[in-house]
Structure 1
């Protein structure tokens, strides 16, 4: 596929997109991943490439799979199965699951309202 971006370019784009989905600055992501914020800037501009361990740390901090960050899947929602929150909610039954769903919906609506301000 001649017009397909290079894997390193895909990673730059996906890392920025994942960070923005979380509503984080580069500094926020760096703090959550336990690395200097300058590293995030280097990864997003393509001046540095992450090691395997760093890639894993970024994915864990973002609660997304490395497959999304590397461009192997298109939808970050496909990372849900790897998300600890998703796994924990999956263990609930009955009314506890409904309470969790309602609470998550409330948080999502609150977050959307903040972005709309």
Structure 2
């Protein structure tokens, strides 16, 4: 994990969400001591534990691991991209047009 930000970010997000270590452990289905070990940096999470923590804290696992500075649980683009693996070129072009139309709709009208 880059710069081993996981312990710091886990504690920060846990506190921002108003959880004690014990509450987070209960919500994520983990032993309370596990959260303590993670925040102390003495243990690293398994993939399953990272997934549980990300879901419980509603934050991206990439953020917890220090890969990105974006906290979103799953970015909208990532969620959409997962569905495009089998999309046709025409479908993708249509979606790009829709995305552009929505972005333009959201822009303030400068006219």
Cα RMSD after superposing both structures: 1.9
Q: Kindly report structure 1 stretches of 4+ aligned residues shifted beyond 2 Å.
A: 6-9, 78-82
In structure 2, C-alpha distance between the alignment counterparts of 1:26 and 1:75, rounded to whole Å: 23
Q: Is the 8 A contact 1:19 1:29 kept in 2?
A: yes
TM-score w.r.t. length of structure 1 = 0.59
Unaligned runs of 5+ residues in structure 1 are 1-5, 83-117
Alignment partner, residue 44 of structure 1: 39
Q: Which has the higher contact order (CA 8 A, sep 6+)?
A: 2
Instruction: Work out which of the two has the higher radius of gyration on C-alpha atoms and give 1 or 2.
Output: 2
Q: Is the 8 A contact 1:8 1:49 kept in 2?
A: no
In structure 2, C-alpha distance between the alignment counterparts of 1:63 and 1:73, rounded to whole Å: 15
**Greater share of residues in helix:** 1
Unaligned runs of 5+ residues in structure 2 are 77-111
In structure 2, C-alpha distance between the alignment counterparts of 1:9 and 1:66, rounded to whole Å: 13
Alignment partner, residue 14 of structure 1: 9
User: Number of paired residues?
Assistant: 76
